[in-house]
A and B are shown apart, each in its own frame.
Chain A
Amino acid sequence: MSVVLPEIEYWRHDLSSCLQDCLATLLIQRGHDPVPALGAAWDFYYPPGDFRPEEYYYPCRWDGLAESVLPYHPVTSRWRTPPGPGAAWAEVRAEVEAGRPAIVAVDNYHLPFRPAYGDVHTNHLVIVYGFDDDASVAHVIDSKPPRFRGSVRMDDLSAARGSANPAHHDRDLFYTQRPIEGRWLEVRVGGDFPELTPEWVRTVVERNVERFLDREGDGAFSGLTGLRDYLADVADRAGEADGPRVMDELYVVGWAAQQCAGLHADFLAAAGRRLGRPRLAELGRDVDRLAHHWSDLRMLGAHCRAEPAAAAGRIRARTVQLVSDTQRALARMEGAVACG
């Protein structure tokens, strides 16, 4: 049997992870514009210790990954961890046969089209959108450069999905030592997506601001105070024995925050253009600035793994700027909402 699902397109944002890339491809296949969906929510949320070494790590405020990335849209997801290699392929094959592309976790070390092939272990997501049983290949799309869309030998895909994801050398960084275990993300995209109207955008902005200013975090670092407290905690822990792991956490958790800010900035910019509201585009630029702070923070995490304590002062200084600029963005959003 051979299946190739139609309308499978590349999508990538320069700050996105493979998680948003894959979700966007699924949204496009269902006829939806990814930016209004992926960029509507703006948040900071991190339950202490939740970090996992995955390129697609995203701290979930709500029950479900897609529910947390796209809280204003009818998209749900559940991780599936099949009991073995046979089931791992059978479940994905069944999903594709039912007409739904399947997001699967892989170790790039085993995928010939990735730069990391035979070199670096990592924990990445790609989409399976077809298969050919006779040729023993799966059709895979990966939007991360150098992007790829085509057939992959089943043996390679199985190795990538079954990898123990070990760390063997000093470039096996951040996303290793978490076995892939055949994980795949079952995603369901509902039918009723909100239209990009002034009223809906206003509601979204109001909810985002409320959440950012809410001091209740259920034990998690949440909102503006959570952002400040999390980064203070990182700076405090940088000099402790597990400093290198703290830097890894900053790099990975910071990426989720950076993705969220970067995509929300583009959401506001797009809304501003489409609705003829220049102020929204200005708010978007304010939020983009926050994403740019995360570049420095994340690179401090990456480059200071060997000497984490040396990064503490710089992290504290950047935190002051990030928190201050976040307060400014929130104040401007409140003002914009008040003005209609």
Chain B
Amino acid sequence: MQSNASARGRTLDLTPHFDNDGISTAGNTADGAFNVWRNTFPAEDLPASGELVDVAGIAFRFPSKADGALNNVVCGGQLIEVPPGAYDWIYVLAAGERRSEDPVYLHFASGAVDPEWLRVSDFWPGPPRFGEVVAFRARSMHYPRHAQRNLEPTIWLQRVPVTRLDRLVAVRLPENRAMHLFAATLVPAVRAVAPAPEPAREEAAVR
């Protein structure tokens, strides 16, 4: 992880959807509750609040780590509007309470909707079961009453493909209580996308 102006992607602001605080400082490990045991990621091992970070060549805006601040979204079927555009990938910084997978629904300017898989491995120490890359691996796990060394929670870099050659306008997250997203970035399409033909949209609306 490093700051790098050449990192790709258009960062997506998830702040309005944040509903969980999964990060605490060593001075107040009781802040937040990523899981039911109230474990949290240690702020000291993560990027600064609001920092633009480069993770494997993708730019992400890291969420706030301040005490009491919400900094991730628990997947609960939220509809997230995106800057309309042609994209190849949606990259996310994510972690699971146990690994899980579910479809996200991609909404396009033409009215088309496609499901694509979002897959996230466990934040507890373990392998990336879905081929993710480690974005951040902390040196300790926070418990409300102490910081546990040698227990290294992970935030993963994962991605979702946008296969339709159309302009993406929104993403519906899964309803899956195990999946948390800390940040998201859209990577523009390499190939230009032609606008969807108007008749097709009207036809679809009639049906």
> Among residues 103 to 130 in chain B, which have CB atoms less than 8 Å away from a CB atom of chain A?
121-122, 124-127, 129
Residues of B close to A289: CB separation below 8 A = 101
Chain B contacts with A in 45-97, Cβ cutoff 8 A: 96-97
Q: What class of interface size applies to chain B in its complex with A?
A: 20 to 34
A295 touches B99 (CB 8 A): yes
A314 to B102, CA, bound (A): 14
Given contacts A171-B37, A314-B175, A317-B175, contact A295 B151 (CB under 8 A): no
Contacts of A104 in B (CB 8 A): none
A300 within 8 Å of B (CB atoms): yes
Contact A14 B99 (CB under 8 A): yes
Question: Which A residues touch B100, using CB under 8 A?
Answer: 292, 295-296
> Is A303 positioned at the interface, with any CB of B under 8 Å from its CB?
yes
A173 lies within 8 A of chain B by Cβ: yes
Question: Is A295 within 8 A of B98, CB to CB?
Answer: yes
Which chain B residues border A33 with CB–CB below 8 Å? none
Chain A residues contacting B97 (CB-CB under 8 Å) are 295, 299, 302
Q: Is the CB of B151 within 8 A of A145?
A: yes
- Tell me if A115 counts as interface (CB < 8 A to partner B): yes
Give every chain A residue within 8 A of B35 (Cβ-Cβ): 302
Tell me, yes or no, whether B146 is within 8 Å of chain A by CB.
yes
- Give the CA-CA distance A296 to B101 in the complex, in Å: 9
Contact residues of B: prevailing secondary structure: loop
With A14-B99, A115-B141, A146-B150: A299-B178 Cβ-Cβ less than 8 Å: yes
Q: Among A119, A258, A300, A302, which residue has its beta carbon within 8 angstroms of that of B146?
A: A119
How many chain A residues touch B (CB < 8 A): the figure is 24
Q: Smallest CB–CB gap between B180 and chain A, Å? A: 10
- The interface centre, meaning the residue of B36, B96, B127 with most chain A CB atoms within 10 A of its CB, is B36
Say yes or no for B144: interface residue by CB 8 A criterion: yes
Let me know if A323 is at the binding interface, CB within 8 A.
Answer: no
Quick one: CB contact mask for B133-149 with A, threshold 8 Å, 1 for yes? 00000000101111011
B36 with A14: CB separation less than 8 A: no
Chain A 144-178: CB-based contact to B (< 8 A → 1; otherwise 0):
01100000000000000000000000010100000
Q: Is the CB of B178 within 8 A of A14?
A: no
Q: Which residues of A contact B127 (CB under 8 A)?
A: 14
Q: Which of B37, B98, B145, B148 contacts A173 (CB 8 A)?
A: B37
In the assembled complex, the Cα of A146 lies from the Cα of B37 at a distance in Å of: 16
A173 touches B36 (CB 8 A): yes
**Least Cβ–Cβ distance between B124 and chain A, in angstroms:** 6
Question: Which residues, 226 to 281 on A, are CB-close (under 8 Å) to B?
Answer: 258
Q: Select A115's contact among B99, B101, B148, B178, beta carbons within 8 Å.
A: B148
What residue in chain B is nearest A169 (Cβ atoms)?
B144
Q: Please state if A300 and B177 are interface contacts (CB–CB under 8 Å).
A: yes
Q: Which chain A residue has the least Cβ–Cβ distance from B119?
A: A292
A303 touches B99 (CB 8 A): no
Residues of B within 8 A of A (CB): 35-38, 96-102, 121-122, 124-127, 129, 141, 143-146, 148-151, 175-178
A-B contact pairs, 20 of them (CB 8 A): A14-B99, A14-B127, A115-B143, A115-B146, A115-B148, A119-B143, A119-B146, A120-B37, A146-B148, A173-B36, A173-B37, A258-B98, A292-B100, A292-B101, A295-B178, A296-B176, A299-B97, A299-B98, A300-B177, A314-B175
Given contacts A295-B176, A300-B177, A302-B35, 13 further A-B contacts (CB under 8 A): A15-B98, A115-B143, A115-B151, A145-B125, A292-B100, A292-B101, A295-B97, A295-B98, A295-B99, A296-B178, A299-B178, A302-B97, A317-B175
Give 6 closest A-B pairs by Cβ, nearest first.
A295-B100, A146-B150, A299-B177, A295-B178, A295-B98, A14-B126
